[in-house]
Structures are given as structure tokens and as C-alpha cells.
Amino acid sequence: MQKALGLVCLILTSCVLLYVVLWKNVSEQWTRSVFVGEIEHTDDRTLTYQTNITSALDVSSFGTTFIYKDENSHSIEREATITPIPVLYKKNFTKLPEWDFEDVYLQDHLARKPTCPKSLKNTEDLKFQEALLPNIQLWLYKGLLNLSEWNRLAHFNNPFGFMEYNYNEVKVAVDLIQKPQSSILLPVPGSAKDGCIRCAVVGSGGILNNSKMGKEIDSHDYVFRVNGALIQGFEEDVGNKTSVYVHTAFSLYSTILRFRKYGNHIIPQDEGIKYVMIPEGLRDFQWLQGLLQGKEAIGSFKGVRPLKFFNGHFNESRFYVLHPDFLRYIRNRFMPSKQMQGKAWAMYRPTNGAFALFLALHTCDIVDAYGYITEDHHKYSNYYFEKFEKTKVIFYINHDYGLEIKIWKKLHDSGIIRLYQRQENLNKTKT
């Protein structure tokens, strides 16, 4: 009897040990396979390769067949079966989670190679130069989101990834986005003998009220505008040319309603204008689905037809959606806020104006910023179009305005941008 009992115990113990070994192996393989997007890691040989990834993923590596090197440098081809990772929830993290692949981004090797002598590549600011990725993938479009990429991006909160979202809800919208005819947003003007692209980025700050900067702004090759880009009646201060309009679904929709009393009835609709959308959250992908299918949106914008806001000027070949990697790269390398280390970590993101300015820095050679927040912002109204009823800047918790003030000033002092500041105030400071 005792021998039989001992035999049973031995068998049970062996089964438990076998289960533990198998589960450990499976779980390790699964963990390794979901972390780095298209580059699958399912054994020790490829795990070594994982630790050597330092900068970016290549857009050209998409597919489900993977080629990697073993310890003897032999190429091995493998078919990978991928399933979505379990949903990660923001509430389960007390601060921004940091993954081994946090600073790994897609790169576009067809990106513009500037010839301008004043290009950012030639900046003397070594820290900026080290942080800069000239080939960062700017655009999200059909073909750039599959299960493997989803598993990578699902580790990051919106708008930097797809944490808490459902794969199918997002993919159905992404698959409607056309691949841009060119990775280059703006071509070098034919009149630019030095090969330089000169851009103005115009925010909505009250510092532009009575600034008389309109002609100077319009003298640039291209003009970027964001959010409630009111022009009619304010041309003398902000110009009347718009080459690129940067927005989220909510900023486009809400600013027309909120600022209608100031004369804001339509978004900029210049001939040849490029529309760039920041995918802020799930509602943006719901908006995208309605926009690109010419139907009413679902979810937060149920009953709204996004296409009507373009007044017949919408053209898919001139419509772009920023890639979450670009947004996360801007936050991580240029605008890391202390807020990311607290309980409200998931709420923080740079402003739309910040993303627009950095988009210009990755698109143009010479960038001048107007209407951006400065140290003396309290002297001006919140918006340049508030001529009679003036409001103050509200420091919302989802942005770090103090950080942006410092960054714009630092970029200006380093000669990376030229930040418009009221001349009368600069003169007082000097005296």
C-alpha cells in the first residue's frame, strides 16, 4: 500500500514539475514575442538580438515571415502565429510604465534628405541632435497595423499607442487611410535656390493680438495652423495663408462650435492644403471611419458627418494621420513631463500646438513660431481673436504649459526655431 502511495506521489510530482517547465517555456516565449512588434523573439538566440535593438524598427520589415540570425550567424526563416496580448489598463499603473522597447520607433527610410545648409541636422545643439530622428515614421496608414504591431503599440496609452483599445475597432479605421503618395509632406519650393523650406507655425495665443505679424507669416513658403485657426478679420495679425492644418477630431469639431461668435464657421480650406490629424483616442478612429467612408461617425460623434466640415474640399491624397510612434517620440525625447511619474501620468500629453511645431521641425528647414506660449503669457489674452472679452490661459492637467514655455524658449535661444515675442517686452528686459 505504501509503495503504491509513493508511486502515485512520484507521478503527481513529476506531472507538476512537467507542467511548471512547460508553462514557463510557453509564457517566456509569449512574453518575448509581443514586445518588439514585427521582430519576433521566441528563443534564446533571438532574445540576444532583442537586447541589441537601440533605435528603431524598419517599416519595410512588415509581414508574418521573420528572418533572424542564430549564434553562428546563419539566417533562419520562420512563420509566426500571433494573437493579441491581453488588454492593459491604465488604472493598473501608478506612473508611466517603462518597457524595454519604450524608445524603439518605426523609421521611414524614404524620408526627406535635406540639402539646406540651415537644416536641423546641422544644429550645434548636441542634445537636440542626439535626440533627433530625421527618419522617424510620421504617418499611420493601411498596412502599418497588424497583430504584431498592435501587440507593441498596445503597451502605450493614447495618443502614444492603443492601451485599453480593441484591435478590430482601431484596425477597421486604419485600413481606410491611404498610404501617402510621398513620405514628404512639403516639397522644396522651386524658388528656394538654397534648397531650404521656410515655415511659419501659428498658434492661437493672445500675444498675436495687434501684433501686425500677418505679412511676415505669409512670407514663409508654408504656414502651419492648429485647432481654431481663425483668419477672417484677423489677417493683419495672423496672415491669411494656410498650407497645413493640424487637428484632432475634437479640436476641429469643438472649435467651430465654441468660436462661432468670433466668426469661426469653417476650417482653413486653401487650395492644395494638407490636413494632418492627431489620433488622440478611440473617438478619433471613429471619426476617421465616418470621414473616410463618407458616413455618419459612430461612438462619441454619433450622428455627425465629419465630411461636412471640409465643405467639399476634402481630398484623401492630401490627408495625413500622425503615427503613434511619432507622438511618443516627441513626448519621450523632447517633452518628458514630471507628470508622467505621478498618478495622473496617463492624462499628460503635449498640446496640439506642440505636435504641430515638432512636425514642422521634421518637415521644414527653417521654422518660425508665432502665437506660442511665452514666459509673459499673463500679459495677453488666451486667444488672439479675443479683442473685447479676454480670458486667461488655463493650465489644464493634461498638458504641461510650464514645460512648453521652457522648451520654446530653449529652442529659440539655441537657434533651432525663432519664437515670436513682443518686441516692446524684449526691449524692457534688455534695459
Domains, the chain, ordered by start? 106-430 (3.90.1480.20)
Cell of 7: 508511486
Residue 10: predicted pLDDT:
55
pLDDT at residue 348, as a whole number: 95
Phi and psi dihedrals of 361, rounded to 5?
-65, -25
Which pLDDT belongs to residue 111? Answer: 83
Asked whether residue 69 carries a pLDDT value surpassing 80, the answer given is no
pLDDT-based confidence at residue 160 (cuts at 50, 70, 90): very high
Min mean pLDDT across 4-13, 78-87, 159-168, 283-292 is at 4-13
> Which tens digit of pLDDT belongs to each residue from 163-221?
999 999 999 999 999 999 998 999 999 888 899 999 999 999 999 999 999 999 999 99
Strand partners, 68: 76
Reported confidence tier of residue 228, pLDDT bands at 50, 70, 90: confident
Task: Give residue 417's pLDDT band: very low, low, confident or very high (50, 70, 90).
Answer: very high
Give the residue-averaged pLDDT of 365-381: 94
Structure-block grid coordinates of residue 76: 533562419
| C-alpha grid cell, residue 223 | 504656414
More confident call, 103 vs 41: 103
- How much is the average pLDDT of 348-352? 96
Nearest to 104 by CA among 170, 52, 55: 55
Q: Nearest to residue 363, comparing CAs of 404, 320, 408?
A: 320
Give pLDDT, residue 118.
Answer: 86
Query: Would you say how long the chain is, in residues?
Result: 431
Confidence of residue 256 (pLDDT cuts 50, 70, 90): confident
Q: Give the Cα separation of 330 and 401 in Å (integer).
A: 15
Cα–Cα distance, 318 to 233 (Å, whole number): 27
Determine the average pLDDT of the residues in 227-255.
94
Q: What is the pLDDT of residue 305?
A: 96
Range with the lowest mean pLDDT among 18-27, 39-48, 383-392?
A: 39-48
Look at residues 404, 422, 267, 273 and name the one whose alpha carbon lies nearest to residue 348.
404
| Mean pLDDT score, 231-252 | 95
Give the dihedral of Cα atoms 342, 346, 351, 356; nearest 10 deg.
120
Pairwise pLDDT comparison (41 vs 260), residue with the higher score: 260
**Beta carbons within 10 angstroms of residue 328's beta carbon:** 21
- Mean pLDDT for the stretch of residues 276-305: 95
Asked which of 8-17, 179-188, 393-402 is least confident by mean pLDDT, the reply is 8-17
Q: What is the CA radius of gyration of the chain?
A: 25
Across residues 152-161, what is the average pLDDT? Answer: 97
Mean pLDDT along residues 242-263: 91
With beta carbons less than 8 A apart as the criterion, state whether 166 and 158 touch: no
Is the omega angle on the peptide bond into residue 159 within 30 degrees of 0, that is, cis? yes
Q: What is the pLDDT of residue 6?
A: 56
**Which of residues 37 and 123 earns the better pLDDT score?**
123
Q: Note the pLDDT of residue 120.
A: 81
How much is the pTM? 0.82
**Interval 80-97 mean pLDDT:** 90
Report pLDDT for 74: 61
Put the strands of the sheet holding 319-321 in their side by side order: 319-321, 274-277, 244-247, 222-226, 198-202, 366-370, 418-419
- Mean pLDDT (the chain) is 83
Is residue 273 over pLDDT 60? yes
